[in-house]
Structure 1
Amino acid sequence: MLRWARAWRLPPGTLTSSNPSFFRVPVAPGGGGGGGRGDAEPRPLPLSYKLLDGEAALPPIVFLHGLFGSKTNFKSIAKALAQQTGRRVLTVDARNHGDSPHSPNMSYEAMSQDLQGLLPQLGLVPCVLVGHSMGGKTAMLLALQRPELVERLIAVDISPVESMFVSHFGIYVAAMKAVNIPDEAPRSHARKLADEQLSTVVQNMAVRQYLLTNLVEVDGRFVWKLNLDALAQHMDKILAFPARQESYPRPTLFLLGGNSQFVQPSHHPEIRRLFPRAQMQTIPNAGHWVHADQPQDFIAAIRGFLV
């Protein structure tokens, strides 16, 4: 049965951005399988991750970031939860994001398969799987496909239906692809130029700063860590959710931003069908990036769900 938790509030946090690091984009041999068509069993990619140590007897916590994000989005939250709960905590870069390999395949089946390869390899199953937005859909699909790998599930401001309120995500991709920075531009000037060019399309400064965390310098040129071509080609898949018949029988929390419209009442029947033990909790004064807007509330909600 779908249960509603009482909304509560703690001191607010802020969305921050980190300085970009130098890197070289790894490209999966052969494109990672599937040729971008989302085969039923795509070949897993060797994802980039950060693992914080903890008590092996406790189910670990695994964080999956959203579209345009990376494992660094959860860096401070992962550290806090590792310290407060004593658990191992894993943050992962999805394919085509962060330091993980690029591939033309950007289906949820492929992203789930990546984790089905990584989590048992690291001895992190069953785990508490926490996914935001795109990462939440990946987490939900993995839980439905392989429930034995997921001890409990937290979907952050997303539901297992097509996302209808995010047509602007495609606009963000186009805006990033259009950014033009002269070669050998100083880093501070390059970020300012990119911010100015993005601002004509992306008015929200916090969103621009979030997108700019993906801007990095390689051999004197500024490029995006993201595989923008793959994201643009498969944006319809990213906004959708694969049709499933099975249900996930274990505890599930849908953690929502009070100022967000991503999860609508019309989604509740499908949530109940796929996740019969789901409960919902709303964090006030948080938008879609709940963990960035209200990090302390976010941490407290996860800890409460673990009890």
Structure 2
Amino acid sequence: MSVLRRWFQTGLLCGRAQCRSAAGRGSMCGGAPALARFSSSESPVNLTYDVFDGKGESTPLVFLHGLFGSKSNFHSIAKSLVQRTGRKVLTIDARNHGTSPHHPVLTYEAMASDLKHLLTKLHIEKCVLIGHSMGGKVAMTTALTQPDLVERLVVVDISPAQTTTRTNFRFYINAMQAVTVSSTLPRSTARRMAEDQLRKQVKEHSVRQFLLTNLVETNGQYSWRVNLAAISAHLDDIMSFPSLDTTYDGPTLFLGGASSAYISSEDYPEIQRLFPCADIQYIPDASHWIHADKPLDFISSISSFLQS
């Protein structure tokens, strides 16, 4: 696979040998109340997850999805990686996403705590952590605060930098909150009606289809399975990154889409500071959703990184 590769000077100096291996009818969602920030006294939530069992004994791979996503985003990727590597693969729903519980707090500290709680419950002492976008920031937070838990780290099209100016997430939230769908409609009609309403603020067809994966019918009512109130209230937290002075010295891959602006040269110094053994690669003709645009290249990049 042809990729554009950039190595950090510190990454070259450190060398791989020195890196440690290691709702009712009507509007579907209400407003966003003021919420307290996460503290160490917060109890973690019990995340939902899917397991794809491999026959090998190597460290399992753990996938973390992005904002508005779910564990199913990586199911086909997980199946391919089980076949290619023999490793067990887990895909996880973050709090307020998929079928995981809702909680008013949505910070990276809280989500990292949820992840540690799940891995402890599953008796997984070490894993290869792979996170896309928001999930990439959860993965970075986990690696920086609990490095012994992470054997290798893959951060997909995101950096430890402020990303507010590069996103339209606030528009997406507003559009989703404004959708109204009658409970009397069949699902296919309800989905078309919801898409028509989203189209006013969400111009990209692919983004609308992605957001619509969150439209569910529960007890005869249509609603969004993501917790829009918590996402809206914590959007600044989600778009930023915790201030941390620690480093993660294990093997790290930042995998960006060549057509995406989420990992830019302006981010390199902070990546270098926090992840001194990082390698950055870009997959040609891939947008922010690399795994959907170029799944074979994405799988090849992950496989090569595991063997490096």
Q: Which category of TM-score, normalised to the shorter sequence, fits these structures?
A: 0.7 to 0.9
Cα distance in 1 between the residues matched to 2:125 and 2:153: 13
Deviation at 1:119, TM superposition (A): 1.0
Partner in structure 1 of residue 86 of structure 2: 86
Cα distance in 1 between the residues matched to 2:73 and 2:139: 17
Partner in structure 1 of residue 175 of structure 2: 175
Cα distance in 1 between the residues matched to 2:164 and 2:174: 19
Partner in structure 1 of residue 187 of structure 2: 187
Tell me if 1:138 matches 2:142: no
Cα distance in 1 between the residues matched to 2:166 and 2:175: 15
Partner in structure 2 of residue 49 of structure 1: 49
Does the 8 A contact of 1:36 with 1:106 survive in 2? Answer: no
Cα distance in 2 between the residues matched to 1:284 and 1:172: 27
Does the 8 A contact of 1:68 with 1:214 survive in 2? Answer: yes
Mapping of residues 146-225 of structure 1, within 5 Å: 146-225=146-225
Change in 2 beyond 3 A, CA 1:272/1:153:
same
Partner in structure 2 of residue 118 of structure 1: 118
For residue 202 of structure 1, give the secondary structure of its aligned residue in structure 2: coil
Mapping of residues 1-307 of structure 1, within 5 Å: 3=7, 36-55=36-55, 57-307=57-307
Cα distance in 2 between the residues matched to 1:188 and 1:55: 40
For residue 144 of structure 2, give the secondary structure of its aligned residue in structure 1: helix
Cα distance in 2 between the residues matched to 1:152 and 1:125: 13
TM-score, length basis structure 1:
0.88
Number of residue pairs matched? 277
Deviation at 1:56, TM superposition (A): 5.8
What is the percent sequence identity of the aligned residues? 51
Cα distance in 1 between the residues matched to 2:183 and 2:213: 19
* Amino acid of the structure 2 residue aligned with 1:271: I
Unaligned runs of 5+ in 2: 1-5, 9-34
For residue 43 of structure 1, give the secondary structure of its aligned residue in structure 2: coil
Q: Deviations over 1:27-55 (max 9, x none)?
A: xxxxxxxx641213531110000011124
Cα distance in 2 between the residues matched to 1:104 and 1:217: 22
Cα distance in 2 between the residues matched to 1:168 and 1:157: 16
Deviation at 1:130, TM superposition (A): 0.3
Partner in structure 2 of residue 9 of structure 1: none
Does the 8 A contact of 2:166 with 2:261 survive in 1? Answer: no
Does the 8 A contact of 2:164 with 2:236 survive in 1? Answer: no
Deviation at 1:182, TM superposition (A): 1.1
Does the 8 A contact of 1:59 with 1:125 survive in 2? Answer: no
Cα distance in 2 between the residues matched to 1:243 and 1:114: 19
